[in-house]
A and B are shown apart, each in its own frame.
Chain A
Amino acid sequence: MYDPTVARLTYRALLGRRRALILGALPLLLIAISVVVRFLAGADDQTAADLLGGLALATMVPIIGVIAGTGAIGPEIDDGSVVYLLSKPIKRPTIIFTKLIVAIAVTMVFSAVPTLIAGFILNGNGQQVAVAYTVAALVASIAYAALFLLLGTVSRHAVVFGLVYALVWEALFGSLVPGARTLSVQQWALAVAQKVSGGDLVTSDVGLTTATVLLVAVTALATWYAGQKLRSLTLAGEE
C-alpha cells in the first residue's frame, strides 16, 4: 500500500525548491508571535489557549493542510504529468494512500510541531494546553489532508474550495450557526483535545464519541473515494 518512489516524488513536489521555505514561514511566524506574546503578557493559560486555538488550530493547520493536501496531487493533474504516474503498474489506491501519508506527514511537521513549541513558549504546557492543542493539530492534520487530497482529485479549483471550507465554513458559519460546528474538522479535533487536557480551557461543541466516529469515517471515506476518482480520471484540457 505504500510506494517509496511515489512518496519521494511527492515530497519533492511539496518541499522542493523554495516551497519548503514558504511552508516554513507560517510556523516561524507562529513561534515569533508566541515569543512576543510571552514578553507582552507573561505566562497565562487563557492567553495561550486563545492564541493556539485561534491562530494555530483555526488558521494555520487548515491552510497548511490545504497546501499539502491539494499540492500532493493537484499540480500533477493540472499539468497532465499524472498520466506518467498512472501508466506505471501501481494500483491507483496505492498512489492515493502514499500521497495521503506524505500529505499528513508534511501537515503534521509544519503545523503540530510548531504548535507544541509555541505552546511551551507561551505557558510551559500549563494545564496541558500545549499538548492538548498539539494532539488536536495532529488529529486535524490527518482529516484535513485526506479531505483536501480528495478535493485535489475532484476539482481543478481545489485550493479555493478547500479555503472556502476552512475559512468560510469553519470560521464564519461556525461562529454564526452553531449547527455548522458539528460538521467541522476543527471541532472534532478539539473534542479529542478536550479529552487530553481534561480542563475547561479547551472545549468543543461535539462529543468525543461523535467526533472520533466522524473523524475516522471522513478520513476513510475521503481516501477511498479519492482512489475511486483516480481510477476513472479524465484529463481535461486547460480552460
Chain B
Amino acid sequence: MAVEHSTGTSVPAPGDQTRIHNIGYRSYDGPRLGRAYARRSLYSQSLRGSYGLGRSVKSKVLPMLLFVVMCVPAAIMVAVAVATKANALPVDYTRYAIVMQAVISLYVASQAPQSVSRDLRFKTVPLYFSRPIETADYVLAKFAALASALFILTAGPLLVLYVGALLAKLDFADQTKGFAQGLVSVALLSLLFAGIGLVIASFTPRRGFGIAAVIAVLTITYGAVSTLQAIADAQGSSGAVPWIGLFSPITIIDGVQSAFLGATSAFPGGVGPSNAEGVAYVLLALGLIAASYGLLMRRYKKVGL
C-alpha cells in the first residue's frame, strides 16, 4: 500500500481513498477439458514416468535396463529355437513370468514408490486435488498406469517369443492359444502386483523404505511359501501344497494359470491346484486387487488434506 503516505496533518475519513482498480484480469472462457481429460493426463504422465520418459536420464536407466533384462532371455530362446529347428519353445508362455519373477518384483519395487511416494513427500497431492479430479480419479490413474507399465514389461517378452515361434514355423493355432493364455495370466499378474506395490508405497513418503518394503513382501512371502511347499511335498502331504500357495502373490498367479490357463505348475511335485481349488485362487486374486483399490481409496480420502 504505497499510497498511504502521511502527507497532510488531517487524516482523511476512511472510505474516501478506497477504490477498486480494474487491472485487466480476464476470466477464462475457452473450453474446459474436465475430469476425464485430467485423469487421462495423469495416467499417461504416470505411465511415461514408469519408464523414465519425461524424467532425467538417470531415472531412465533402471526401468529400461529391467525391460531389456526381461526381453533378452526370450530373444535368446527364440534364436535357439530357430537355429535348432526345435518343435517347441523351451519355455511356455505362461511360465516365463514365473521364471523372471525377480526382475518383475524389482520393477514393481522401484517404480511403485516412484509413482506415489514422491507426491506424498513433496506434498503435491493437495495440488492434484485442487484440480477437477477426485480421489477415485487419482487412484484409478495411478493404478492403471502402473498396471499398464507392468503389462508392457511382462507382455513384451511374450510377444518376442510369439513372433519368434511363428518365424520358427511352429504350429500357428497352438502358439496363438498359448500366447493368449500367457497374456491373460500376465494381465492378472500386472493388476495384482501393481495393487500390492501401490498400497505399500502409498503408506511411506520415503522412497527407499517403500522399495525395501515392497520387495520384502514379494520375495519373503515367495521364499516362505516355496519352502513350506517343498517341505509339505517331501512329507507326503501333497494335499496341503496348493493351499499353502495362496499366501504369496506369484504363487497365486501360478495357481490360477495352472488351474485354468493350461500351464504346468511350478509348485514342488508339479501338482497345481484342482479346478475347485483354482476357483479359490481366482477369487483371492480378484479379491486382493479389489482390496488394494479399496485401501488406496481409503488412504487418499484424507491424505494431505
Contacts and interface: CB of A to CB of B under 8 A. Distances in A.
B227 A33 contact: yes
Contacts of B55: 239
11 contacts: A19-B209, A26-B216, A33-B224, A37-B228, A58-B223, A63-B216, A67-B209, A163-B211, A167-B102, A171-B102, A239-B56
Nearest to B61: A157
Interface in B76-101: none
Contact of A70 (B110, B208, B213, B235): B208
A112 to B, nearest CB: 17
Interface in B92-129: 102-103, 105-106, 109-110, 122
**Interface of A, helix, strand, loop or mixed by DSSP:** helix
B135 interface: no
A14 to B, nearest CB: 10
A158 B208 contact: yes
Contact of A50 (B122, B208, B227): B227
Chain B residues touching A, range:
20 to 34
A170 B116 CA distance: 30
Nearest to B215: A163
A40 B106 contact: no
A75 B59 CA distance: 18
B126 to A, nearest CB: 18
B130 interface: no
B227 A40 contact: no
B109 to A, nearest CB: 7
Interface string B189-217: 00000000000000000111101110110
Interface in A150-191: 156-160, 163-164, 167-168, 171-172
Contacts of A156: 58
B56 A63 contact: no
Given A167-B102, A239-B59, A66 B212 contact: yes
B219 interface: yes
Interface in A60-85: 60, 63, 66-67, 70-71, 74-75, 78
A22 B224 contact: no
A167 B219 contact: yes
A19 B222 CA distance: 22
B110 to A, nearest CB: 5
Contacts of A26: 216, 220
A59 B220 contact: yes
Contact of A67 (B102, B212, B237): B212
Q: Report, nearest first, the 7 A-B pairs whose CB atoms are least far apart.
A: A159-B208, A159-B211, A239-B56, A59-B223, A67-B212, A55-B223, A160-B110
A50 B213 CA distance: 24
A131 B223 CA distance: 22
Contacts of B220: 26, 29, 55, 59-60, 63
B65 to A, nearest CB: 9
Contacts of B58: 156, 239
A163 B212 contact: yes
Interface of B: 55-56, 58-59, 62, 102-103, 105-106, 109-110, 122, 206-209, 211-213, 215-216, 219-220, 223-224, 227-228, 230-232, 234-235, 237, 240
A71 B230 CA distance: 34
Interface string A16-55: 0001001000100100010011001100000100110011
Nearest to B225: A33
Chain A residues touching B, range:
35 or more
A171 B253 CA distance: 22
A168 B237 contact: no
Nearest to A156: B58
Contact of B219 (A36, A63, A160): A63
Nearest to B121: A79
Nearest to B110: A160
B208 A75 contact: yes
A217 to B, nearest CB: 27
Nearest to A59: B223
Given A40-B235, A171-B102, 15 more contacts: A41-B234, A41-B235, A50-B230, A51-B231, A58-B223, A59-B223, A60-B220, A70-B208, A75-B209, A159-B207, A159-B212, A160-B106, A163-B212, A168-B106, A239-B59
B209 A71 contact: yes
A157 B106 contact: no
Contacts of B231: 37, 40-41, 47, 51
A101 B167 CA distance: 58
Interface in A97-133: none
A159 B210 CA distance: 10
A62 to B, nearest CB: 10
B235 A167 contact: no
A67 B220 CA distance: 14
A63 to B, nearest CB: 5
